Chains A and B, each alone.
Chain A
């Protein structure tokens, strides 16, 4: 039954997220944009709320609830992927950086949810896990990572440098991607959960950024960092056929979430721009003659349609995950579309609103800075297009580089 509408059952959840966004994120938005690297302590008491959302297991929302479900035999399912996406749209309407700073909602939490075994899940329950993939010498090409993990008795010894680790300062666990054997390529890359207080793990510095300044972005150094063998997520075997599988499945689940962030921040810009346009005497009327509306209104409608397109692609990807359908293609489509849409919409809303769009008096300029990261992290626009193209054309990564 085709009905691409937000499900009624998540109305309460969406409303709660909207309250958080409006009453806590927005009032602190500019403050932590200016005070980069300061810990947004206002978020601490929110953890309780988010924990409550997660407590429901697969029915809950949040990073730890993300995973592809088993297909249901009783009609369509709107589950954790959908509720997380809907919740995050609201939170990122409030502030993307602060949403990324919510305790225990790290990307590492999603990775743990996707690939950890039951024992690990139990041991790591309630942690705040960051994700450390990127290195100074590799970004999108994650197969080229140089960080190593050497087995010594019951332990692994990790060595390397990780950059762009979101929440790398504030988290209490870091999921580190490292190679068991540099000669064996991507199949040898495994993820390890490293406690933040491990003496072999150091925060070297925090970055100063274009946007999402309230979210800490850390450089981490692993120096003879010893972790127990149980820290390895997934299978320790180097299976050259299986390759990246586990690690990449995390992305199938989290890409719609990042897409949702783009949908949220773009909606913030659209709503504010609409208010300011109406103040300037522009009326929005969807039944109006399409050719004789003012250029500003026509531009606005174009942006709104781009937003709606990205939103529906995002909800589709989440819906597929909830219903046990493989959604790698659709997740990348959503991420590609929402990433570029968020940048385009926030930038053009700033332009439409003139001085108000550019001045720090409004948040429009900030949203335009915040949005750019959404077309970069969790796989850049170009990486998403590669994934989509390979799927549509039936090409391997060796053929279509």
Chain B
């Protein structure tokens, strides 16, 4: 089978060490003045309103699905990053610092990620992370850990933009892990193309106490084969202009499954769904009205569905860790500079102990995430670890978000500082399902 030639831009994240990100980032820097102009030509600008979606052509011949190897079981307790991971984190962190963070307020106002940031993410090779080499991607091994490290570093820049950038990565991961060869041929290779699709995982529904294991979005079996699906999905990143969605649906006779829905499918309606935070992620309501699902559109089995839920929650843990780290990094110099009663406020235990607890819980969150992700990576059970990590991150990240505002006092409450945005963004961690996944 002929191996597709990758162009230089398309080389993946961990493989970035070959050119150490320098060229890419220099280019990003040069592009900076053009950022404002590019905003006019933003994502949605390219798309005819209401006509999201695009054709997916079969570009590869695969006799069997391209799967990634699982990492080997490791016998020692270890918390060191590999050299590749160190490079990866450094590159993504630089991207986050130089491009994402400065764009945060604008992206929030426009409720979408600027074309410059999309471009930066593309050049970093984000879309290639989860696509196997045989399909033009850069992945050789399934690595929830690498995705977690990437997610953390991106979210340190801005959580909303990170969610937008990560949403297609999650879909590619799902297609790689569970797609059959036909599905991979049709969809997966496009993630490694010059124009990767806007895609997201749609699990959450607009109802209190929603349980993703029991979606209200249902498919009624048709005599002629296939299902007619109706229901609503909520807070889907990139939803209203997505080319591709993986939707959680309870299929009659089968149970809950992920199904592949193209952005231009008849019966699919999308609209903006602005929320408390994560506005840069273009959160959307997705409505399915008698949408026809063929058997060929079902992605994976019941186990894949529950894995997707757990891996999605871990992705939210990862962006929570990155955002909480951003809060702490911002608060420390602030409380050291801010004077009250003739000395820095950090000289008071009420402030200092709050900072100490933010640091302790941040580290604990990260370790819990790492353990669950490492177990997933090594093919061990991780349901328990993911659940514990999710509960822990949900509560501690929100506490850190709240403390972040508190440590700045009134200044934390106004938009001059990012603390209030982090507060709003971090509220999502405890309630999100889907959107992104490791």
- A residues contacting B by CB (< 8 A) are 1-9, 75-76, 78, 82, 286-287, 289-292, 301-302, 304-306, 308-310, 312-313, 315-316, 319, 330, 333, 336-337, 382, 385-386, 388-390, 392-395, 399-401
Min CB gap B354→A, angstroms: 9
Chain B residues contacting A305 (CB-CB under 8 Å) are 368, 388-389, 391-392
Q: Considering the chains assembled together, what is the distance between the CA atoms of A340 and B390 in angstroms? A: 21
Residue from A7, A78, A337 in contact with B364 in the complex, judged by beta carbons closer than 8 Å: A337
- B residues contacting A by CB (< 8 A) are 74-82, 85, 145, 209-211, 213-214, 306, 328, 332, 335-336, 344, 346-347, 349, 352-353, 355-357, 359-361, 363-365, 367-368, 370-371, 373-375, 378, 383-385, 387-392, 395
Q: Judge whether A76 and B368 touch: CB under 8 Å.
A: no
Main secondary structure of the interface of B (DSSP, over half): helix
Chain A residues contacting B389 (CB-CB under 8 Å) are 305
Main secondary structure of the interface of A (DSSP, over half): helix
Q: Can you list 6 A-B pairs, Cβ within 8 angstroms, ordered by A?
A: A2-B145, A5-B371, A388-B356, A392-B355, A399-B344, A400-B352
Q: Considering the chains assembled together, what is the distance between the CA atoms of A49 and B36 in angstroms? A: 71
Q: Judge whether A3 and B356 touch: CB under 8 Å.
A: no
Q: Judge whether A304 and B388 touch: CB under 8 Å.
A: yes
Q: Judge whether B75 and A9 touch: CB under 8 Å.
A: yes
Q: Judge whether B367 and A3 touch: CB under 8 Å.
A: no
Residue from B74, B344, B361, B371 in contact with A312 in the complex, judged by beta carbons closer than 8 Å: B371
Min CB gap B325→A, angstroms: 12
Q: Judge whether B383 and A287 touch: CB under 8 Å.
A: yes
Chain B residues contacting A389 (CB-CB under 8 Å) are 346, 349, 352-353, 355-356
Residue from B306, B374, B388 in contact with A2 in the complex, judged by beta carbons closer than 8 Å: B374
Chain B residue at smallest Cβ distance from A284: B384
Q: Considering the chains assembled together, what is the distance between the CA atoms of A6 and B371 in angstroms? A: 11
Chain B residues contacting A310 (CB-CB under 8 Å) are 364
Known: A305-B391, A309-B367, A333-B363. A4 touches B211 (CB 8 A): no
Q: Judge whether B359 and A312 touch: CB under 8 Å.
A: no
Chain B residue at smallest Cβ distance from A399: B347
Q: Considering the chains assembled together, what is the distance between the CA atoms of A236 and B374 in angstroms? A: 48
Min CB gap A256→B, angstroms: 13
Q: Judge whether B209 and A2 touch: CB under 8 Å.
A: no
Known: A4-B79, A308-B392. A392 touches B332 (CB 8 A): yes
Q: Judge whether A2 and B81 touch: CB under 8 Å.
A: yes
Q: Judge whether A292 and B211 touch: CB under 8 Å.
A: yes
Most buried by A among B355, B371, B383: B371
Q: Considering the chains assembled together, what is the distance between the CA atoms of A3 and B336 in angstroms? A: 35
Chain A residue at smallest Cβ distance from B328: A392
Q: Judge whether B374 and A4 touch: CB under 8 Å.
A: yes
Q: Judge whether B370 and A2 touch: CB under 8 Å.
A: yes
Q: Considering the chains assembled together, what is the distance between the CA atoms of A8 and B76 in angstroms? A: 7
The 9 closest A-B pairs by CB, nearest first: A309-B364, A389-B352, A312-B367, A3-B74, A388-B356, A289-B211, A389-B356, A305-B392, A305-B388
Q: Considering the chains assembled together, what is the distance between the CA atoms of A204 and B79 in angstroms? A: 47
Q: Judge whether A1 and B82 touch: CB under 8 Å.
A: yes
Most buried by B among A4, A337, A400: A4
Q: Considering the chains assembled together, what is the distance between the CA atoms of A141 and B361 in angstroms? A: 26
Q: Judge whether A308 and B368 touch: CB under 8 Å.
A: yes
Q: Judge whether A312 and B387 touch: CB under 8 Å.
A: no
Q: Judge whether B77 and A78 touch: CB under 8 Å.
A: yes
Q: Considering the chains assembled together, what is the distance between the CA atoms of A337 and B81 in angstroms? A: 24
Given contacts A305-B368, A393-B332, 17 further A-B contacts (CB under 8 A): A1-B74, A2-B78, A2-B80, A2-B373, A3-B74, A8-B76, A75-B76, A76-B77, A289-B209, A301-B387, A308-B388, A309-B365, A316-B79, A336-B356, A386-B353, A389-B355, A395-B347
Chain A residues contacting B306 (CB-CB under 8 Å) are 287
Q: Considering the chains assembled together, what is the distance between the CA atoms of A8 and B73 in angstroms? A: 11
Q: Judge whether B346 and A1 touch: CB under 8 Å.
A: no
Q: Judge whether A385 and B356 touch: CB under 8 Å.
A: yes
Q: Judge whether A386 and B332 touch: CB under 8 Å.
A: no
Q: Considering the chains assembled together, what is the distance between the CA atoms of A337 and B361 in angstroms? A: 8
Q: Considering the chains assembled together, what is the distance between the CA atoms of A389 and B78 in angstroms? A: 26
Chain A residues contacting B359 (CB-CB under 8 Å) are 333, 388, 392
Q: Considering the chains assembled together, what is the distance between the CA atoms of A135 and B78 in angstroms? A: 40
Q: Considering the chains assembled together, what is the distance between the CA atoms of A5 and B392 in angstroms? A: 18
Most buried by B among A1, A3, A336: A3
Q: Judge whether A313 and B367 touch: CB under 8 Å.
A: yes
Known: A78-B76, A393-B346. A386 touches B392 (CB 8 A): no
Q: Judge whether B77 and A400 touch: CB under 8 Å.
A: no
Chain B residues contacting A1 (CB-CB under 8 Å) are 74, 78, 80, 82
Q: Considering the chains assembled together, what is the distance between the CA atoms of A401 and B347 in angstroms? A: 7
Chain A residues contacting B364 (CB-CB under 8 Å) are 309-310, 312-313, 337
Min CB gap B148→A, angstroms: 9
Min CB gap B344→A, angstroms: 8
Q: Judge whether B378 and A395 touch: CB under 8 Å.
A: no
Chain B residues contacting A291 (CB-CB under 8 Å) are 209-211
Q: Considering the chains assembled together, what is the distance between the CA atoms of A316 and B368 in angstroms? A: 12
Q: Judge whether B74 and A5 touch: CB under 8 Å.
A: yes
Min CB gap B313→A, angstroms: 9
Q: Judge whether B79 and A2 touch: CB under 8 Å.
A: yes
Q: Judge whether B79 and A336 touch: CB under 8 Å.
A: no
Min CB gap A364→B, angstroms: 22
Min CB gap A172→B, angstroms: 34
Known: A4-B370, A4-B371, A393-B332. A400 touches B356 (CB 8 A): no
Min CB gap A345→B, angstroms: 13
Chain B residues contacting A392 (CB-CB under 8 Å) are 328, 332, 355-356, 359
